[in-house]
Structure 1
Amino acid sequence: MKYFRSLSTVAVVLSISATSAYSENAVLPGEGSFTKFGETDGWTVFVDVQRQSCLIERVDAEANVVQMGLTSDHKLGYLGVFSKTADLGNGGKEDIFVDLDGVMYTSQATKMRKNLTDGYAGGYILANNPQFIEDLAKKYTMTVFPEEEQSFVVDLAGTYKAMEMARACNAEQN
């Protein structure tokens, strides 16, 4: 198994398919100022004005959210999963396994409820493994296995194009 490390710096989010029921602002986290940069293949790219970086977000029909982006120092990538229906507890860390089309990764996820849009709970991991980030961009299905909660599947369609748009967005922020 390959390994990517978790650090508690920035919150992010994961999910499945897009919906247009949301405004120009990112759904999560609840703090910060987000402006829409663009859309591609079911993903929305936002500028996090406070952190001067960009993130991608996808929201499914059940209002689950996936976000991926860079930490405020632009040194690590982050990935998070947030839901209105999951009982993910508050704070703390738990082991998590992520399967990307048959390639398994493991890490520790940091759970959170504070600073999120009302009704959401979830957690995030930070990635320091370039192969993990490449696999996120190029694989098609992500299955997440939290230690205590039920596993779930995330459709990664369009992730590569969304990450490319986020890279262009980040270049404009510097």
Structure 2
Amino acid sequence: MNFQVTLKTAATLAAFGTTAAFASSDVIPSENDTFSKWGEESGWTIYVDDTRGSCLIERVDENNNVVQMGLTKDQEMGYLGVFTQNDIGLKGKKENIILSLDGNVYEAKAYKKTKHLAEGYTGGYILANNPQFVEDVMKKYDMTVFPEKESGFTVSLDGTLKAIEAARTCNTEQNS
């Protein structure tokens, strides 16, 4: 299937900050962290990363794609992880990807996750510090990953607005 899309924006929005610290295990949750379920909201599960004292949300959509969102340890940036059973052709540990949220196009560096994934899944994390991207994730319903490639796929973002608001409440509780 080919996910060719007409870009509604005149330019790709640079939505993601870069940081050398991403390679550090302090940026995203580690396989050694412990998690407890905090609650559920709009089809998303909210977890507390007990090791880091922060919260994240996770959802498996109707196509078995897994989406995770949370804050970096320093809470300076957000991360978004997408994992799929499709062969999406990620080659290296870090590569440029393009995301489309209802025609708003963002370019990011994806950091491939290879360890401790469920059988048959592949994917990675991106870091975001662009308020427009966060708003789009909260208010749009679909995100197309690699919209210009045949390996492109769409993940559902249904319920993210309320789930992110719940995760913010969770984070406030953890930090008080």
Q: Is TM (by shorter chain) over 0.5?
A: yes
Note if 1:162 corresponds to 2:174.
Answer: no
**Alpha-carbon distance, 1:85 to partner:** 4.3
Q: Does 1:5 align with 2:5?
A: no
Q: Which residue of 1 aligns with 2:117?
A: 116
Aligned length: 158
Greater mean deviation of Cα atoms: 53-62 or 34-43? 53-62
2:4 corresponds to which residue? none
Q: Is the 8 A contact 2:61 2:156 kept in 1?
A: no
Does structure 2 retain, via aligned residues, the 8 Å contact 1:84–1:120?
Answer: yes
* Secondary structure of 1:45's aligned partner: strand
Alignment of 1:79-158 (within 5 A): 79-86=80-87, 88-89=89-90, 91-145=92-146, 150-158=151-159
CA contact (8 A) 2:100 2:147 kept: no
1:90·1:113 contact (CA, 8 Å) conserved in 2?
Answer: no
Contact in 2 for aligned 1:96/1:147 (Cα 8 Å): no
Which structure has the larger Rg?
2
Task: State the Cα distance separating 1:155 from its structure 2 match.
Answer: 1.4
Gaps of 5+ in 1: 13-28
Spell out, residue by residue over 1:107-157, the C-alpha distance to the aligned partner (whole angstroms, 9 max, x if none).
Answer: 111112024345433111000111111111011211111887711111111
Structure 2, unpaired ranges of 5+:
1-11
- SS of 1:131's equivalent in the other structure is helix
TM-score normalised by structure 2 residue count: 0.79
Q: Distance in 2 between matches of 1:149 and 1:93?
A: 20
Q: Percent identity?
A: 55
3-state DSSP of counterpart to 1:136: helix
The SS at the match of 1:78 is strand
Indicate the residue corresponding to 2:46 in structure 1: 45
Q: Is the Cα contact below 8 Å between 1:6 and 1:109 reproduced in 2?
A: no
Distance 2:62 2:140 in 1: 22
1:23 aligns with none
Normalising by structure 1, what TM-score? 0.80
